[in-house]
């Protein structure tokens, strides 16, 4: 909102984000980033001291935004069933808008472990969330089956993220064009909550 005209630093950041997301850390070249930002290569090191620091600042920022959205979703004060529908709906849209993020985060994970997750205290965010409490309480009251809430969280996340992450492969298998891929993902907004809820309510 009312953002200033993008200065050089911002131009580099945006270009770098695109290039890093598409090619990964090693695959992305500083000259490529500079060209994408329409800027002299020396300027990249002028504003960010090194490729590594440029990468880190971008990765943190993007990931923090990612986590931020998650916090909001997990803590909305709506009943459990409605909540799950909402989470799936909005989380799906978010991942659709940032399709390369999950693969990028998971690739990065194999290099540096869960460092950024730890920094942002993602554990507390999840386990301290209202959603987490809802699952525990509903389970204690016997409204839903007794289960580790983390199993549910992972199931929901995996169900949403995996098909989007594997978009290219999935589109080939289903003979999808862009639109039918979207339809397939859109259909999951109904399937996933139903699957989770029938499971939680049964047993």
Partner DNA sequence: TACAGTTTTAAACAACTGTTTAACAAAATT
Partner DNA sequence: AATTTTGTTAAACAGTTGTTTAAAACTGTA
DSSP structural state of residue 78: S
Helix segments in 30-177, DSSP class H: 30-36, 41-47, 51-75, 80-97, 101-112, 115-119, 122-127, 130-140, 149-165, 167-173
Least CB distance from residue 73 to its own copies, whole Å?
Answer: 16
**Which is nearer to its own copies, 8 or 139 (by Cβ)?**
139
Q: Is 39 in the site for DNA (CB under 7 A)?
A: yes
- Residue 180 near which of DNA, its own copies, none (CB within 5-8 Å, type-dependent): none
Which CB, 47 or 184, lies closer to its own copies? Answer: 184
- Of the two residues 38 and 183, which places its CB atom closer to its own copies in the complex? 183
Count of residues that interact with DNA, criterion CB under 7 A: 17
- Rule CB under 7 A: say whether 41 interacts with DNA: yes
Is residue 141 within 8 Å of 201, Cβ to Cβ? no
Give contact residues for its own copies (rule: CB under 8 A): 22-27, 100, 103, 105-107, 109-110, 113-114, 117-118, 122-123, 126-127, 147-148, 150-151, 154-155, 157-159, 161-163, 165-166, 168-175, 184, 187-188, 191-192, 194-196, 198-199, 202-203
Q: Determine if 14 is a binding residue for DNA (CB under 7 A).
A: no
Q: How far is the CB of 12 from DNA (least distance, A)?
A: 9
Task: Give, as one character, the DSSP assignment of residue 144.
Answer: S
> Are 65 and 26 a contacting pair, CB within 8 Å?
no
Residue 188: in which H helix or E strand, if any?
Answer: helix 178-201
42 binds, among its own copies, DNA, none (CB under 5 to 8 A by kind): DNA
d(CA 43, CA 100): 26
Query: Within 28-50, where are the H helices?
Result: 30-36, 41-47
C-alpha–C-alpha distance, residues 65 and 67, integer Å: 5
CA–CA gap between residue 87 and residue 72 (Å, rounded): 10
Which position among 15, 16, 20, 51 is part of the footprint of DNA (CB under 7 A)?
51
Site for DNA contains 10 (CB under 7 A): no
Look at residues 156, 157, 161 and name the one whose alpha carbon lies nearest to residue 195.
Answer: 156
Q: Are 132 and 74 in contact (CB under 8 A)?
A: yes
Least distance in angstroms from the C-beta of 41 to DNA? 5
106 touches, from DNA, its own copies, none (C-beta below 5 to 8 Å by class):
its own copies
119 vs 134: CA distance, rounded Å: 26
Partner touching 30 among DNA, its own copies, none, CB below 5 to 8 Å by kind: DNA
Q: H or E stretch including 82?
A: helix 80-97
Which residues of this chain interact with DNA, rule CB under 7 A?
8, 28-31, 39-46, 49-52
């Amino acid at each position: 909102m009312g953002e200033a005209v993008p200065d050089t630093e911002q131009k580099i950041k945006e270009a770098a984000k695109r290039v890093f997301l598409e090619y990964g850390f090693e695959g992305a070249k500083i000259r490529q980033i500079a060209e994408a930002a329409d800027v002299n290569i020396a300027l990249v090191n002028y504003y960010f001291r090194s490729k590594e620091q440029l990468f880190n600042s971008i990765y943190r920022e993007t990931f923090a935004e990612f986590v931020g959205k998650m916090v909001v979703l997990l803590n909305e004060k709506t009943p459990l069933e409605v909540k799950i529908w909402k989470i799936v709906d909005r989380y799906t849209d978010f991942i659709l808008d940032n399709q390369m993020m999950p693969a990028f985060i998971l690739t990065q994970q194999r290099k540096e472990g869960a460092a950024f997750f730890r920094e942002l205290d993602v554990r507390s965010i999840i386990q301290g969330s209202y959603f987490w409490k809802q699952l525990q309480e509903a389970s204690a009251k016997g409204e839903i089956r007794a289960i580790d809430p983390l199993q549910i969280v992972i199931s929901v996340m995996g169900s949403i993220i995996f098909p989007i992450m594997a978009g290219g492969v999935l589109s080939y298998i289903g003979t999808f064009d862009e639109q039918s891929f979207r339809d397939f993902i859109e259909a999951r907004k109904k399937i996933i909550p139903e699957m989770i809820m029938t499971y939680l309510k049964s047993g």
